[in-house]
Structure 1
Amino acid sequence: MIRSVRHTPQQELELLCDINEMESEGEQCEVSDGDDESECGSEFNLNLESDSGSESDSEIECAGDSFQEARDGTVWAEQTAGNPRGRARESDIMRETPGPTCYAKDNITSPLSSLLCLIDTEMWGKIRKYTQAEADRNYADKFKLTADKLKAFVGLLYLRGITGGKSMNLDEHWSTDLGNPIFKQTMSLQKFRDIMRYLRFDDKNTMAARLVTDKFAMISEIFDKFVKNSIASYTPGENITVDEQLFPTKLRCPFTQYMANKPDKFGIKFWVAADVKTKYMLNAIPYLGKDDSSPAGQRLSDNIVMRLMEPFLGEGRNVTTGNFFTSLALANNLLADKTTIVGTMDKNRRELPPCTQAQSERFSTKVLRAGKVTLTIYQAKPKRNVCILSTMHQTVSTDNGAKKLPETLSHYNSTKAGVDDMDNMVRLYSVNGGKCRWPVAVFYNLLDLAVINAHVLYKQCMNVTISRRKFILELVKELCAHHKMARATGAIARKRLLPETPSPPAKRRQCQIGRCSGNKTCDICQTCKRLVCGKCSKNAPKLCSEC
């Protein structure tokens, strides 16, 4: 009598192979699972006939010795390349409609209103407050910064970037011969320099205590608010790219990075998530060096991707990553939150099987599977293969072209450049220019990212087609308009209070131009009618340096 024994599907498969060998020699074997009517492999056959949409390991098509074990113990099973099968998984179904949110649609009517969705009134107020406080600490009694003047200052920064003048000396922008007249019409060169000198983004009285725990404290309040507004204003599409951005600067900073593969080599690094289709900046985290607060045992790259993707998890999206970020643990963590990943991996990673080190025929594809994760090994060159990890593709097919590209690699190539394209757009019209403090460099990057996002929001909310250059020019006009009007009104009012042809004073009096060392003069500025010494004036007719 044969004793009944229960077996797993894998054990049944091994027994079937043994039975086939024994039957070829004229022997017989019976395997029972507790039912008298069952025969050899009955339980295994049941599993094969189960729903094709299930994600059990029985879906993997294996042939011969097709299992490989990685150094960390992960078992990979070779899978036959073929067309996708079964129903779409929950993690592959997009549940949100991409585009501007209701908050953005309700508020955007012009280029300026689209920028104000990202850099809101509260942020403008805080920057004005902290800048004015810094001027007061330096006894600049005549320095008065209004919100309109601050917006005009930002407008001139955008104008400098779009005219390609970031490498020009500031004096040239205000020059009658070389400069754009909008600069002189908006504010004087001295006022622009004063704002640049006192520009601050944090309360200096409490900064020292916060710098102990936050290296980014000098601008973190403003930057975090901008990122929060960017997330609240736009719903991304189904594909997101995570990568790094290096904003070029050589200023003294505790977390300046050197990256040999970047054009500018030195700068402040940001981890960025961007929408693949629109290049909208979705989320950003500055790299501040070693982070002791990160979870123990978790790789830095895994932690960064999970933090960047946190607002967008659970909605059936896919994230594309590079060698630095992609890992098996990250893929499983994202899949648990209904988010898939497609990314390249280094061949020497511990979770990859030994066959990644072997070379195959050129343009050949090998597919392996571990649980719900698919690994594609594509021989791109005679001595170089590419490893693509994916939880988006249950099976992998190849195209009919000469290179026989697998669909995982095709998808990666079409979605990998979201952050790189965004960075190239930043560099084209960047406001980056002369600066002496690293928080100003971060503020420049914030302005560059804000105008890209504002352009995307404006086009989709207003349903118009407008180039980014024209959008920025319209934005500059709106940013400068209120201050130019106030400045003109103030000049007219001052002119009415003074006689038409003021007579020179009977005796020399002190110069009335700000920042003067106290020189005495009899000359009067022809525009503002204030006393002006030779040091503070320009060529005849007599004009003060502020006019």
Structure 2
Amino acid sequence: MKNCCQAPARRLFAYPPTSKTPTPSADDTVRPQPTPSKQNRGRPHSGRGTKRPAIPALPNFLPKLNPGSQLVMDRIYSQLLLFQLFFTGSVVDTIVKNTNTFARMRSEAGKHFLWLPLKAEELHSYIALVIYMGLLGAKNIIDYWSGKEIYRLPFPKSVMSRSRFQAISWNLHLCDPEDDRENSQKKGTQAYDRLFKIKPLYNDIVSACKTYFHPDRQLAVDKRMVATRARIGIKQYMKDKPTNWGYKLYVLADSACGFTWNFFVYEGKSSLATGKGLSYDSVMQLLDLSLLGKGYQLFMDNFYTSPCLFMDLLAKKTLACGTIRTNRRRDQRGTIRWLRDGKLLFVKWIDTREITVCLTMHMAYDGDAVLRRVNNPEREWERRRIPIPVAVKDYNIYMGGVDLSDALIGYYNVLHKTTKWYKTFFHFVDIVVVNSFILHQHLSKAQNKNPLSQKEFRERLVSELATQSSTSEPSTSAISAGEPCCPEYFGSDAASGRRVCALCKLSGLKVKTPMYCTKCNVPLCLVPSRNCFRKWHTVGHS
């Protein structure tokens, strides 16, 4: 073929729809009928007479590992242990270290807030509450600690105070703040890394996804949006998605179970682009064939499908099937038209709308039919069997891998309002929880046990994460040792530099004060009618 990047535009062969008989017998199999000879001219092969197009020789399925979970299948894994396969101890220690450093830097820059050093156990408790909030879905964070009768929830208060949860959210930092500052200075140059803030967790989770699960033969590629309206350069708009604005992720998932095996965050035009288009580069970046093996079947939508991509995948012994965009006159429902150009097969099928697919596997038609409710010439509804190409049937089965993953995440997603970059952090938590749940399903099946539902799995995981912390929150009395707590003015007099009192804020009030504690670095009222300074240091806060 002279140009593999353009699909042929001619209709060369057609299977007409079946008769109007509602329930034909097994002998009523649809036979292909040739179109007039003028339509059969041209170099691309279209078959002869009633002979169906033969399926080409396909590569054998040779995965590098046995598909499925790569864990010890007879071992008992708790929900927490599965979660920690992805969210490892080293990742937690890195986040704790960088969060403490970032909080110290903010404090030195003049930001006044209560901060006690974060520990690994406390970060586990924080993540437990994040997942818990996805289960309940209250509109506002403060509702989980509300004293109102209808919101009275004992669990969040037993794990962590609201002020501590918010303090961790405000200071959460995945990367080294000093290195992040150096990276920010490179903005506008090729050396600037747009994903630097999330790299430590991002890289570890992608690596774990590839390590603990090996996908089956059918894979799906699709896009995913993480909602945000933040003012950030890599924010994308997609009008056809339920979430229009946000971070765009490209995802490769197992079609059968929805396990997210590989993904990356789209950061804009890349200096490593091949010149064959974003869709081509995205698929090639996701498809790590050195780890997967040969003979995989890749399903995708019309954004990715191109003859150029499919031929290059076939050269790597990877088969592909995807819809393509086309503008042609409408034929009768049930019509199948196909054209083979070398190793590429193009099939058009008319159902309620026109569907055109390009593929390097399957035949155009193997005799399958589907029942459809149609309006006959007498304007009466009847059930009729119409032929369906095997490519379309398999596409409908296997293309939903990423959609299945999205659905599992969407049931209990943990997104809430936070610093703009850390929307991706919460989405990573969702990916980890769902992938852990899928591993649990595979283990339960191998051990002949009934798996938990995703809701039950999350509930147990929350309990196990919360019990990792020996105390719900560091006591405020611990800061009384060493340097004494002394009140001081923010500014030169009582009228300047006023801030909202931390203790009043916990009571739902917004009372501004000119004073703060020099040791705790927190604003507190100190007037005869409202001595929050004394209360803070004697009875603490909740």
TM-score tier by shorter-chain length is 0.7 to 0.9
Judged with a 3 Å threshold, the aligned counterparts in structure 2 of structure 1 residues 210 and 405 are, in CA distance, closer, same or farther, namely: same
Match of 1:198 among 164, 171, 185: 171
| Distance in 2, Cα, partners of 1:398 & 1:513 | 80
The 3 A distance-change label for structure 1 pair 82 and 101 is farther
Task: Tell me how far apart the structure 2 counterparts of residues 235 and 271 of structure 1 sit (CA, whole Å).
Answer: 19
Gap change, CA 1:147 and 1:95, over 3 Å in 2: closer
Match in the other structure for 2:131: 158
What is the DSSP-based 3-state SS (H/G/I as helix, E as strand, rest coil) of the residue aligned with 2:247? strand
TM-score by length of 2: 0.74
1:447 corresponds to 2:429: yes
Largest Rg, 1 or 2 = 1
Q: Is the 8 A contact 1:239 1:319 kept in 2?
A: yes
CA drift of 1:518 comes to: 5.4
CA distance in 1, matches of 2:99, 2:47: 62
Alignment of 1:185-224 (within 5 A): 185-211=158-184, 212=187, 213-224=192-203
Amino acid at match of 1:449: I
Q: Deviations over 1:78-112 (max 9, x none)?
A: 1367678689622456674221114x759861111
1:517 to 514, 517, 523: 523
Distance in 1, matches of 2:359 and 2:444, equals: 37
- Percent of counterpart pairs with the same letter? 23
Shift of 1:396: 2.9
| Deviation of the 1:395 alpha carbon | 4.9
Distance 2:75 2:165 in 1: 30
Partners of 2:85 and 2:528 in 1: how far apart? 50
Alignment deviations for residues 121-163 of structure 1 (CA, whole Å, 9 cap, x no partner): 1111111111000111123785210000001001000001111
Paired position in structure 2 for 1:431: 414
- Helix, strand or coil at the partner of 2:168: helix
Note the aligned Cα RMSD (angstroms). Answer: 3.3
CA contact (8 A) 1:313 1:338 kept: no
In the alignment, structure 2 segments of 5+ residues that lack a partner are 1-33, 108-112, 371-384, 482-515
Q: 1:313, 1:337 within 8 Å by CA — same for their partners in 2? A: no
Does the Cα contact within 8 Å between 2:237 and 2:245 map onto a contact in 1?
A: yes
Paired residue for 2:333? 362
TM-score, normalised by the number of residues in structure 1: 0.73
Determine the structure 2 residue equivalent to 1:333. Answer: 312
> How many Å separate the matches in 2 of 1:163 and 1:453?
21
| 1:323 aligned onto 2:308 | no
> Which residue of structure 1 aligns with residue 261 of structure 2?
282
**Alpha-carbon shift at residue 469 of structure 1 (Å):** 0.5
Distance 1:257 1:175 in 2: 39
What amino acid sits opposite 1:424 in the alignment? Answer: A
Partners in 1 of 2:53 and 2:89 — Cα distance? 50
User: Cα 1:162–1:109, aligned 2, differ >3 Å: closer, same or farther?
Assistant: same
Structure 1 partner of 2:503: none
Matched residue pairs, number? 440
Please show how residues 386-465 of structure 1 align to structure 2 within 5 Å. 386-401=355-370, 402-435=385-418, 437-463=419-445, 464=449, 465=451
Match of 1:143 among 116, 121, 134: 116
**In structure 2, what is the Cα distance between the partners aligned to 1:286 and 1:346?**
26
Letter of the structure 2 residue corresponding to residue 431 of structure 1: V
List per-residue Cα deviations over 1:319-353 (Å, max 9, x = no partner): 100010011111111111111111100116xxxxx
CA distance in 2, matches of 1:519, 1:408: 71
Partner of 1:55: none
Aligned twin of 1:229 = 208
The one-letter amino acid paired with 1:478 is E
SS in 2 for 1:430: coil
Q: Which blocks of at least 5 consecutive residues in structure 1 are unaligned?
A: 1-60, 70-74, 349-356, 498-509, 524-531
Distance 1:260 1:87 in 2: 38
Provide the C-alpha distance between the structure 2 equivalents of 1:82 and 1:474, rounded to a whole number of angstroms: 58
Q: Residues 152 and 291 of structure 1: is their aligned pair in 2 closer, same or farther, counting only changes over 3 Å? A: same
Write out aligned runs for 1:455-494 (5 A): 455-463=437-445, 464=449, 465-483=451-469, 485-487=470-472
Structure 1 position 257 matched with structure 2 position 217: no
- What SS does the aligned partner of 1:325 have? coil
User: Does residue 1:378 correspond to 2:353, yes or no?
Assistant: no
> Which residue of structure 1 lines up, in the alignment, with residue 9 of structure 2?
none
Change (3 A) 1:189 1:293: same
